[in-house]
């Protein structure tokens, strides 16, 4: 706003209307740095529409898909609920199977990604079924996914250990995978203790090594820890974890 006179105005955020008082040359109004209207010496009020935050979100810069080379496309994501069927994964002190919890979190994550990020989401499994590891990453490669997310839960012989971490593969997409891991981890630690910062896969995990796109494996708490297990079994806990993973993916996609 440029003016050689004293000026006063009221911005009514509820009505979305600006009011001008006194003699001024020109007033430019901005929201988040974007011009939304002007007042000149002949105007006494200028109604305007507040920018829609959803529209603004859509206009943010998106990743260029390393698989599809489409800069403005909505993301394609493959979610892999770890274990399943004959492979229950780790088992909690009360008999809870990791595979079941992985599936519940993954389903909720799918819903968030589809509803809020407009992503096309594929699941390696939607029931308690065993899927070969090579078929899991093969689905992501076939669908030319922008990111592969494998959902797991940790375990330890020390029941006091708790918290979350994210693992990413050491392949030709390591930089993007590391960035995605960092974004997701920074969100999930809002609801789970920070067990360990995201780290490069040093075990050559089969489910990650064959991916041809950015990939992460989330360890969402410890099934061997009683407080983590209670949280992981709760519907609210599963929903919060899924929401935080979704937010991390969104942060990465629009970074």
pLDDT of residue 209: 93
How many whole angstroms separate alpha carbon 226 and alpha carbon 94? 9
Does residue 122 have a pLDDT over 90? yes
Contacts of 217 (CB under 8 A, 6+ apart): 82, 149, 150, 152, 166, 167, 168, 201, 205, 207, 208
| Known active-site residue 70 | no
How many whole angstroms separate alpha carbon 82 and alpha carbon 195? 20
pLDDT of residue 179: 97
Q: 51 falls in which pLDDT band (50, 70, 90)?
A: very low
Higher pLDDT, 34 or 145: 145
DSSP secondary structure code for residue 1 in this structure: -
Q: 62 falls in which pLDDT band (50, 70, 90)?
A: low
Does residue 54 have a pLDDT over 70? no
Does residue 61 have a pLDDT over 70? no
For residues 3 and 36, the answer to whether their CB atoms sit within 8 Å is: no
Exactly one of 97, 104, 219, 240 is catalytic; which is it?
219
Q: 118 falls in which pLDDT band (50, 70, 90)?
A: very high
Residue of 117, 108, 115 whose CA lies nearest to 73: 117
State the Rg of the chain over Cα.
Answer: 24
Token pair 């992460």 is at which residue? 216
Per domain, the residue ranges of the chain are 22-57, 76-254
**Which CATH number fits the domain 76-254, given the four candidates 3.40.630.40, 3.40.109.10, 3.40.50.10610, 3.40.50.12280?**
3.40.630.40
Per residue in 133-182, pLDDT (tens digit) is: 999 999 999 999 999 999 999 999 999 999 999 999 999 899 999 999 99
């Amino acid at each position: 706003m440029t003016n050689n006179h004293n000026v006063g105005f009221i911005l009514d955020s509820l009505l979305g209307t600006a009011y001008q008082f006194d003699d001024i040359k020109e007033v430019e109004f901005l929201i988040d740095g974007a011009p939304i209207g002007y007042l000149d010496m002949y105007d006494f009020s200028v109604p305007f529409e507040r920018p829609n935050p959803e529209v603004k979100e859509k206009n943010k810069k998106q990743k260029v898909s390393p698989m599809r080379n489409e800069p403005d496309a909505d993301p394609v994501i493959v979610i892999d609920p770890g274990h399943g069927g004959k492979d229950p994964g780790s088992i909690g002190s009360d008999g809870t199977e990791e595979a079941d919890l992985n599936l519940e979190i993954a389903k909720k994550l799918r819903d968030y990604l589809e509803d809020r990020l407009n992503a096309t989401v594929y699941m390696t499994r939607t029931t308690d079924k065993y899927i070969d590891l090579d078929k899991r990453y093969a689905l992501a490669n076939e669908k030319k996914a922008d990111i592969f997310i494998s959902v797991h839960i940790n375990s330890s012989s020390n029941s006091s250990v708790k918290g979350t971490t994210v693992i990413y593969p050491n392949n030709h997409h390591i930089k993007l995978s590391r960035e995605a891991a960092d974004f997701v981890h920074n969100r999930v630690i809002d609801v789970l203790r920070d067990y360990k910062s995201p780290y490069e896969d040093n075990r050559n995990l089969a489910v990650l090594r064959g991916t041809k796109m950015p990939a992460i494996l989330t360890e969402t708490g410890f099934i061997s820890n009683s407080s983590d297990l209670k949280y992981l079994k709760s519907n609210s806990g599963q929903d919060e974890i899924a929401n935080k993973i979704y937010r991390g993916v969104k942060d990465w996609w629009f970074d």
